[in-house]
């Protein structure tokens, strides 16, 4: 058995299909549940949103022999705690979950804002993280003011009329023609505010290169929040550690837009049996198949 195969074989995490509470220290308590059994993957959701966004992908992965570990962020569901100081404060929450549930390094997925926390976790606790998948991963490219306004409008559930928010969602999060109504609900504006403040207090250089982890970046075809310039900058900075795959017919929401393609890419990448060319072919095939069935 090779060292890499031995490392994978030694990864295991306790399941919590009904959910459990984990104390992360400093007054933070996280509600964590799991879906599936087998190869563990920790999932970190987008700005001001809960981990339910991963449900469809997690169930697809469960059929392939993966366990998805799904902690709710502070302030969502059964999770609670003070406002985070910075991204590494949030990363520490996930490190605490892994320390309680898992033995050996665990693969990690971060979606949108969650990609920043995932990279901070990989930088904070390199022994806890195996490989890293970034879905709609930004951080370097400055947002256009109109896109930033649409982003903040999307988050403002209960604070802005739904019809206006729907237009914001279409502008900032969804590929033209994809159904943006699926994300009208599920936002936590107060949580988003604390997360944005934590991000603003963290120097990008501290988390940008994701420690030493192998990285998959799934780049949505039309993503105004995390455009291709971020991927190009990451390629420059970490070189061959980065596997880059373009996902068609998707924008920043990516999870509700292309769950089958996302699940297949994660399965292939975390199984360690696919190179960038085969992953790209897989992505293109699945998106084309979805279009043909619609």
Give me the CATH number covering residue 70. 3.40.50.1820
Of the pLDDT bands very low, low, confident and very high (cuts 50, 70, 90), residue 9 is low
What per-residue confidence (pLDDT) applies to 10? 63
Q: Which of 89-103, 136-150, 241-255 has the lowest mean pLDDT?
A: 136-150
Identify the band that residue 33 occupies on the pLDDT scale cut at 50, 70 and 90. Answer: very high
Rg of the chain taking only CA atoms, in angstroms: 18
Domain count, the chain: 1
| Average pLDDT value over all residues in the chain | 94
pLDDT for residue 72 is more than 80: yes
86, 112, 97, 110: which is closest to 210 by C-alpha?
110
Domain span at residue 244 reads: 3-293
Model confidence at 8, pLDDT cuts 50, 70, 90, reads low
CA distances, 273 to each of 90, 165, 219, 259, 266 (Å): 31, 41, 20, 20, 11
Residues 6+ apart with CB under 8 A from 143: 151, 224, 225
């Amino acid at each position: 058995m090779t060292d890499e195969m031995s490392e994978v074989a030694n990864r295991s995490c306790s399941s919590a299909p009904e959910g459990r509470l984990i104390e992360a220290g400093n007054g933070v308590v996280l509600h964590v549940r799991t879906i599936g059994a087998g190869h563990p993957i920790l999932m970190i959701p987008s700005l001001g949103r809960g981990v339910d966004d991963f449900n469809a992908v997690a169930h697809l992965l469960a059929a392939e022999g993966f366990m998805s570990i799904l902690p709710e962020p502070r302030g969502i569901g059964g999770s609670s705690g003070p406002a985070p100081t910075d991204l590494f404060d949030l990363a520490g929450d996930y490190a605490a979950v892994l320390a309680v549930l898992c033995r050996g390094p665990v693969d990690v997925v971060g979606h949108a804002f969650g990609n920043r926390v995932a990279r901070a976790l990989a930088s904070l606790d390199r022994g806890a993280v195996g490989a890293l998948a970034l879905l709609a991963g930004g951080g370097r490219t400055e947002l256009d003011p109109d896109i930033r306004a649409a982003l903040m409008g999307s988050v403002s559930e209960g604070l802005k009329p739904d019809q206006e928010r729907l237009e914001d969602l279409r502008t900032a999060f969804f590929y033209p023609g994809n159904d943006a109504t699926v994300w009208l609900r599920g936002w936590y504006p107060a949580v988003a505010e604390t997360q944005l403040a934590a991000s603003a207090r963290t120097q990008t250089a501290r988390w940008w290169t994701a420690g030493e982890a192998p990285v998959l970046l799934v780049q949505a075809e039309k993503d105004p929040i995390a455009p291709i310039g971020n991927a190009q900058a990451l390629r420059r900075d970490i070189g061959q550690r980065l596997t880059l795959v373009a996902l068609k017919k998707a924008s920043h929401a990516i999870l509700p837009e292309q769950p089958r393609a996302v699940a297949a890419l994660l399965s292939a990448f975390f199984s360690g049996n696919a190179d960038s060319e085969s992953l790209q072919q897989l992505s293109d095939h699945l998106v084309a198949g979805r279009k043909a069935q619609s």
